[in-house]
């Protein structure tokens, strides 16, 4: 089933009350590693695309200046409950990851955790993230992907019929998403579930 913004608003409104209790611990190691690889500093302006319930916010460094954006008002409400975080200046706003409401080169670093598997068009999402990233800036991706250039097996295609119903696509390939994008891969390492999840560092 095709992902759409309309469906995602509904799905993540339903997920919001349970998301952290059910999934926060599962994904924490990947989120922590993504932030370690990104290594943002207090002097850099940070954008979190698909900030969700704000699980990445406590991982930001002291002194961080960050903006978190998400399509789901219900998820943003959960993220807002984490604020304020001492020593960090964090703003939250609602918006579309495929049409970010920011000027070009507005941020030094971008966090794309568990968003490229959710948005309707992951290539458009990444393109927008890179547009608002300054030249030389860094973006980190923590998400699940097919092995590069590999077609999904029948079982995975069938499984995807279910996962898209609950708001995520397990059959996306990072190599295809990166095709033609104005960035280079600096680091690509296996993360959760034997490498189904990866942590990837990009440079604009």
pLDDT tens profile 100-134: 999 999 999 999 999 999 999 999 999 999 999 99
Give pLDDT, residue 2. 84
Give pLDDT, residue 1. 72
| pTM for this entry | 0.96
Give pLDDT, residue 128. 98
Adjacency order of strands within the sheet including 197-203:
89-94, 65-70, 45-49, 107-113, 133-144, 197-203, 184-190
Give pLDDT, residue 75. 98
Other Cβ atoms less than 10 A from the Cβ of 139: the count is: 25
Only one residue has tokens 């979190």, namely 48
User: In which band, very low, low, confident or very high, does the pLDDT at 81 lie, cut at 50, 70 and 90?
Assistant: very high
pLDDT tens profile 14-35: 999 999 999 999 999 999 999 9
Give pLDDT, residue 71. 98
Q: Are the C-beta atoms of 193 and 177 separated by less than 8 Å?
A: no
Given a cut of 90, whether residue 69 has pLDDT beyond it is yes
Q: How far apart are alpha carbons 155 and 175 in whole angstroms?
A: 21
- Residue 61 contacts by C-beta under 8 Å, 6 or more apart in sequence? 40, 41, 42
Alpha helices in 102-196 (DSSP H): 122-131, 154-163, 174-178
What domains lie within the chain, and their CATH numbers? Answer: 5-203 (3.40.50.150)
Q: Which helix (H) or strand (E) holds 78?
A: helix 73-80
């Amino acid at each position: 089933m095709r992902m759409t913004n309309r469906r995602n608003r509904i799905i993540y409104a339903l997920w919001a009350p349970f998301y952290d209790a059910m999934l926060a611990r599962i994904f924490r190691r990947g989120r922590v590693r993504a932030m370690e690889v990104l290594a943002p500093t207090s002097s850099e302006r940070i954008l979190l695309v698909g900030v969700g319930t704000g699980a990445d916010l406590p991982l930001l460094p002291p002194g961080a200046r960050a903006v978190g954006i998400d399509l789901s008002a219900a998820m943003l409400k959960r993220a807002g409950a984490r604020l304020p975080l001492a020593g960090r200046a964090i703003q939250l706003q609602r918006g579309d990851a495929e049409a970010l409401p920011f000027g070009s080169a507005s941020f030094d670093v971008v966090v794309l955790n568990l968003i490229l598997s959710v948005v309707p068009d992951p290539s458009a999402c990444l393109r927008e993230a890179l547009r608002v990233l300054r030249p030389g800036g860094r973006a980190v991706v923590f998400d699940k992907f097919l092995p590069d250039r590999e077609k999904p097996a029948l079982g995975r295609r069938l499984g995807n019929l279910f996962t898209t119903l609950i708001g995520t696509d397990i059959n996306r390939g990072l190599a295809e998403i990166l095709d033609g994008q104005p960035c280079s891969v600096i680091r690509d390492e296996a993360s959760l579930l034997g490498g189904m999840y990866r942590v990837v560092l990009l440079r604009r």
